[in-house]
C-alpha cells in the first residue's frame, strides 16, 4: 500500500513542478549564437505570487516554436530586480514576445523515483521503515561513547553519546542549542572509538553538508586525532570552497586543482557580462567535476563519507556497495519522508537530527493527500513511533538573549527551551559584547513597528509587496549603521516572499546603498545574526502560504535567527497571527502575576471528537483543556495512542496522556 502511495506522490509532485514556473516573454535579445537575454513578465493566467529567483540558475528552459517545434536552453543567470534571465546553450530560435517561457528546476526526484521502480530496491527501504516505526525498542545494550574531555558538552549533549549504538534514534536540536556541534562531537568520537565502523553523513543542502563535515574535522582536531587527514571525504561538486580553507584534505584531490579553483573564485566576473560569466562558469564547473571524480574514488575507503541526500539518491548503487554501518541524517526535518525511506538501505543503524518545529520539506503539490504525506513531511512526523529512550532533545541555547529566547520558547517549544549559562569572566563578557545594543532609537531586544499599508499584488514584482514596510526596513538598517561599525555586528532583513525582497533591493538602490543583506526565511534557516529585521508582509491576508501552510514554522525560524535584536514590521491586522501578537505583548507591561489564563488558546472541545481523523489538524497548537475537577490547563497535542491523546503540558513541558473520553464524552 505504501509503495503505491509513494509512487502517486512522486508523480503528482513531478507534474506540479513542471507547471510551476511559467513566464510571459516581454523581450528576447540574442547576445551571440550561444547566449541571450530574456525579459519576462508575470503570466496573467497564472498570477503566481513568488517565482523568479536566483535559485533557478542552472535550470532548464523551454518555449514553443512554430511548426510544433520547441526551443531549449539552460538558465545562466537570474536578475529578479530587472525581471531578466540570461540563457546559455540555446537550441532553436528565440521565443516570440508573449510566448510562454517554462523554467524546469533540476529534477532531484528522478533518482529517487528510479529506486522506487527498481525490482531490486522498491520495497527495501519501506521494509526497514516499517521496522523503525513498529514501536520496537531500539536499545542494543547500554553501550555509549566515552565523554570527550576536549569537547565541552552540556548534559543533554552528553546523553546523546549513546545514540550511535541504537538501531534508530532522534537528536532534536531547537535553535541555538548546538545541534551540529553536538552531532560533530559524537561522530568524531565514534570514528576514533569504532575504527572498523563506517559512517555515511547526509544532509538536505550543500551548505549544511559543508558545515557538518568541517565541524566533524574540527572536533577530530580538538581530540588530537593524528589521522584526521585520512578520516573524512566530502563528495559532490557543489561544495563551497571557502568553507574548506585550511581543511582541503576533506576534498582529497591534487593541490593543483584546489589552487586552480581558489584562483577562479577570485576572478569571478560580473554576471551581467553574460559572455565572460558563461566562459568562467564552464571552467569553474569543470574543475569542480575533476575534484568530484577524485573524491568519489574514496567512497569505499574512508570511514566517513558526507554528501547531500539528493546526491546519495543519484549515487545509490555505488554507496550501497560501499557498505555503511551508521547512516546519519543531519537537518533530517527538511528531508522528505519518501527520500529518507529510499535511502535507508544504505545503513544498518540510523540517527535523524533536526528540529521538527522549523521549516518542513518543500512540497509543491501540497494539496494532494499523498504528496503532503510523503513529500511534505519528514521522519519527524513519525516521532511518536520512536521510544522515549531513543530521543534526545537539546534544551539549552546560547544564541539568543533572554527576551528573544523566552518568546521563541513559549510560542514554539512550550517553555522547554532555556538559556544556557553564559560562563564566567572573559567568556561571559564576550557573549554579552556580541549582543550589545548601542542604538538609542532601537534599544529593545524585541520591537514591533506598525506600518499603515497592507500588501498588494504588483505585476512588476510578480507577487505581493508592501511599500511601507520595505521603506521602513531600509530606514532601520541605515539607522543601525553606526552600531554595526562600532560593534562589528551584522543585520539582515528577512521576508517570506521573493517579491518583497525585490522591492527592498530596489528601495535600497534608490536610497544610495549599493547592497543590503536580505534573504527569504527559508534561505536563512541555519544562520544567525545580531539583528533581524522581519518584514512579515501579509500574515492576515488571503495568501494561504503565509497564513496557514507555513506561518508557524517560518516565524519560528525568523524569530530564532536573532541573537540580540528582533524588529518586526507589521500592519495592525497582522496581530491576528498569534505569534506576532505574542511578540507585541512582550513589549507591553506584563500582568502582575503569571497565569495560564493570560495565554490565548482555543478550547479543545471545539474540535471534538478528537481522533486519528483530525490529529494532524490540531498537533503543535495550544489548547485549553478542562479537567474533571473543573480546573483548566494549556496543552499541546502531539499524537494519539489507542484511546488516549498524547500532549505536552504548557506549564512544565512534560509529556502526558489524557483519555479521549474526557474530550469526546462517553
Assess whether pLDDT exceeds 70 at residue 590.
Answer: no
The whole-angstrom distance between residue 338's C-alpha and the CA centroid of its chain comes to 17
Query: Which sign does the torsion angle of CA 307, 309, 314, 316 carry?
Result: positive
Average pLDDT value for residue range 324-335? 96
Q: What are the phi and psi torsion angles at 648 (to 5°)? A: -110, 130
At residue 597, the pLDDT reads: 56
Mean pLDDT confidence for 602-610: 86
Least confident span in 46-60, 223-237, 273-287? 46-60
Q: What is the mean pLDDT of the chain?
A: 89
Peptide bond between residue 609 and the one before it cis (omega within 30 degrees of 0): yes
| Residue 151 pLDDT greater than 70, yes or no | yes
Higher local confidence (pLDDT), 630 or 558: 558
Q: Rounded distance, CA 469 to CA 495, Å? A: 10
Decide: residue 346, CB within 10 A, 0-12 exposed, 13-18 middle, 19+ buried: buried
Region 131-137 average pLDDT: 72
Q: What are phi and psi of 53, to 5 degrees?
A: -155, 165
Question: All 3 cell numbers of residue 349?
Answer: 543503524
d(CA 454, CA 468): 9
Residue 179 C-alpha from the chain's centroid: 14
Torsion of the alpha carbons at 500, 502, 508 and 509, rounded to the nearest 10: -160
**3-class state of residue 628 by DSSP:** coil
Res 544 pLDDT > 90: no
For residues 419 and 398, is the Cβ–Cβ distance under 8 A? Answer: yes
pLDDT score, position 49: 46
Listed in sequence order, the residues at least 6 apart from 485 whose beta carbon sits closer than 8 Å to its beta carbon are none
Cα separation, 136 vs 248, in Å, equals 42
Per this entry, what is the length of the chain? 666
Query: From CA 587, how far away is CA 403, in angstroms rounded?
Result: 10
How sure is the predictor about 578, in pLDDT bands with cuts at 50, 70 and 90? confident
**Residue 442 in 3-state DSSP?**
coil
- pLDDT grade for 547, boundaries at 50, 70 and 90: low
pLDDT band with cut points at 50, 70 and 90 for residue 176: very high
Which residue matches cell numbers 544610495? 512
N-to-C CA span, the chain: 34
Query: How would residue 666 be classed by pLDDT, with cut points 50, 70 and 90?
Result: low
b/e for 577-597, b at 16 or more Cβ within 10 A? Answer: bbbbebbbbbeeeeeeeeeee
Q: Are strands 84-91 and 70-79 parallel, antiparallel or unpaired?
A: antiparallel
pLDDT in tens, 619-636: 878 888 888 777 788 888
The CA-atom distances, in angstroms, between 494 and each of 246, 470, 527, 581, 642 are 32, 11, 12, 19, 43
Q: How distant, in Å, are the alpha carbons of 181, 397, 432, 564, 614 from that of 425?
A: 23, 19, 11, 20, 52
pLDDT number for residue 106: 83
Burial of 276 (C-beta count, 10 Å sphere; 0-12/13-18/19+): middle
Whether the pLDDT of residue 44 is over 50: the answer is: yes
Dist. CA 544–CA 539, nearest whole Å:
9
Categorize the per-residue pLDDT at 45 as very low, low, confident or very high, splitting at 50, 70 and 90: low
**Helix, strand counts (H, E) of the chain:** 23, 27
pTM of the prediction? 0.85
Residue 519 has pLDDT above 70, yes or no: yes
Proportion of the chain above pLDDT 90, given as a percent = 59
Whether residue 55 contacts residue 85, with contact meaning beta carbons closer than 8 Å, is answered with no
Average pLDDT over residues 118-126: 94
**What would the mean pLDDT of 500-514 be, rounded to a whole number?**
88
pLDDT higher than 90, residue 60 = yes
Question: Coil, helix or strand for 300?
Answer: coil
Can you spell out the DSSP letters for 450-480?
E-S---EEEGGGTEEE-HHHHHHHHHHHHHT
Residue 283 pLDDT greater than 50, yes or no: yes
Distance CA 333, CA 382 (A): 11
Instruction: Report how far residue 355's alpha carbon sits from residue 174's, in angstroms, rounded to the nearest whole number.
Output: 6
- The pLDDT score that the predictor gives to residue 587 is 84
Residue 548 pLDDT class (50, 70, 90 cuts): low
pLDDT for position 255: 82
CB 157 within 8 A of CB 182: yes
Amino acid at each position: 500500500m505504501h509503495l503505491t502511495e509513494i509512487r502517486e506522490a512522486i508523480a503528482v509532485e513531478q507534474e506540479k513542478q513542471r507547471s510551476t514556473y511559467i513566464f510571459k516573454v516581454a523581450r528576447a535579445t540574442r547576445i551571440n549564437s550561444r547566449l541571450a537575454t530574456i525579459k519576462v513578465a508575470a503570466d496573467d493566467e497564472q498570477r503566481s505570487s513568488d517565482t523568479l529567483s536566483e535559485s533557478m540558475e542552472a535550470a532548464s528552459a523551454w518555449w514553443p516554436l512554430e511548426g510544433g517545434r520547441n526551443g531549449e536552453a539552460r538558465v545562466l543567470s537570474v536578475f529578479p530586480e530587472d525581471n531578466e534571465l540570461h540563457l546559455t546553450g540555446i537550441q532553436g530560435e528565440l521565443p516570440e514576445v508573449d510566448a510562454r517561457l517554462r523554467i524546469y528546476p533540476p529534477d532531484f526526484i528522478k533518482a529517487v523515483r528510479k529506486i522506487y521502480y527498481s525490482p531490486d530496491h522498491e520495497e527495501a527501504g519501506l521494509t526497514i521503515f516499517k521496522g523503525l516505526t513498529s514501536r520496537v525498542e531500539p536499545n542494543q545494550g547500554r553501550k555509549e561513547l566515552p565523554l570527550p574531555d576536549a569537547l565541552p558538552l552540556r548534559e543533554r549533549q552528553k546523553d546523546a553519546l549513546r545514540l550511535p549504538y541504537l538501531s534508530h534514534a532522534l537528536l532534536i536540536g531547537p535553535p541555538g542549542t548546538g545541534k551540529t556541534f553536538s552531532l560533530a562531537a559524537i561522530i568524531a568520537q565514534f570514528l576514533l572509538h569504532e575504527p572498523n565502523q563506517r559512517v555515511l553523513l547526509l544532509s538536505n543542502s550543500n551548505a549544511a553538508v559543508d558545515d557538518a563535515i568541517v565541524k566533524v574535522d574540527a572536533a577530530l582536531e580538538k581530540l588530537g586525532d593524528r589521522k584526521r587527514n585520512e578520516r573524512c571525504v566530502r563528495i559532490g561538486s557543489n561544495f563551497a570552497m571557502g568553507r574548506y580553507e585550511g581543511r582541503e584534505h576533506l576534498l582529497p584531490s591534487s593541490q593543483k586543482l584546489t589552487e586552480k579553483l581558489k584562483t577562479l573564485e577570485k576572478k569571478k566576473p560580473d554576471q551581467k557580462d553574460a559572455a565572460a560569466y558563461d566562459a568562467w562558469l564552464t571552467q569553474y564547473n569543470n574543475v569542480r567535476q575533476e575534484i568530484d571524480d577524485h573524491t568519489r574514488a574514496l567512497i569505499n575507503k574512508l570511514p566517513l563519507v558526507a554528501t547531500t541526500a539528493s546526491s546519495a539518491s543519484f549515487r545509490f548503487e555505488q554507496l550501497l556497495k560501499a557498505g555503511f554501518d551508521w547512516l546519519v541524517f543531519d537537518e533530517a526535518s527538511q528531508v522528505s519522508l519518501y527520500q529518507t525511506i529510499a535511502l535507508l538501505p544504505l545503513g544498518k543503524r540510523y540517527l535523524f537530527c533536526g528540529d521538527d518545529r522549523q521549516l518542513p520539506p518543500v512540497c509543491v503539490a501540497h494539496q494532494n493527500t499523498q504528496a503532503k504525506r510523503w513529500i511534505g513531511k519528514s521522519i519527524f512526523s513519525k516521532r511518536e513511533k520512536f521510544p522515549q529512550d531513543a530521543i534526545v532533545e537539546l534544551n539549552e541555547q546560547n544564541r539568543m538573549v533572554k527576551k528573544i529566547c523566552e518568546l521563541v520558547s513559549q510560542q514554539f517549544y512550550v517553555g522547554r527551551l532555556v538559556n544556557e549559562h553564559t560562563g564566567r569572566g572573559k567568556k561571559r563578557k564576550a557573549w554579552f559584547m556580541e549582543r550589545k545594543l548601542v542604538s538609542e532609537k532601537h534599544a529593545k531586544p524585541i520591537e514591533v513597528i506598525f506600518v499603515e499599508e497592507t500588501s498588494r499584488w504588483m505585476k512588476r514584482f510578480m507577487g505581493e509587496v508592501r511599500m511601507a514596510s520595505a521603506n521602513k526596513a531600509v530606514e532601520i538598517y541605515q539607522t543601525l549603521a553606526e552600531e554595526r561599525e562600532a560593534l562589528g555586528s551584522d543585520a539582515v532583513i528577512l521576508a517570506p516572499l521573493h517579491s518583497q525582497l525585490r522591492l527592498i533591493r530596489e528601495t535600497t538602490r534608490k536610497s544610495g546603498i549599493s547592497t543590503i543583506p536580505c534573504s527569504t526565511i527559508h534561505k536563512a534557516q541555519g544562520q544567525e545574526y545580531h539583528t533581524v529585521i522581519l518584514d512579515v508582509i501579509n500574515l492576515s491576508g488571503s495568501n494561504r502560504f503565509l497564513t496557514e501552510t507555513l506561518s508557524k514554522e517560518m516565524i519560528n525560524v525568523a524569530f530564532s535567527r536573532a541573537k540580540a535584536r528582533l524588529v518586526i514590521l507589521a500592519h495592525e491586522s497582522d496581530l491576528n497571527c498569534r505569534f506576532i501578537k505574542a511578540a507585541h505583548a512582550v513589549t507591553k507591561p506584563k500582568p502582575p502575576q503569571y497565569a495560564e489564563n493570560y495565554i490565548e488558546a482555543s478550547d479543545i472541545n471545539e474540535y471534538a471528537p478528537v481522533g486519528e481523523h483530525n490529529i494532524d489538524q490540531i498537533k503543535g497548537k495550544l489548547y485549553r483543556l478542562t479537567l474533571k475537577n473543573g480546573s483548566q490547563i494549556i496543552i499541546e497535542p502531539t499524537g494519539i495512542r489507542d484511546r488516549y491523546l498524547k500532549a505536552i503540558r504548557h506549564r512544565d513541558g512534560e509529556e502526558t496522556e489524557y483519555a479521549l473520553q474526557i474530550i469526546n464524552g462517553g
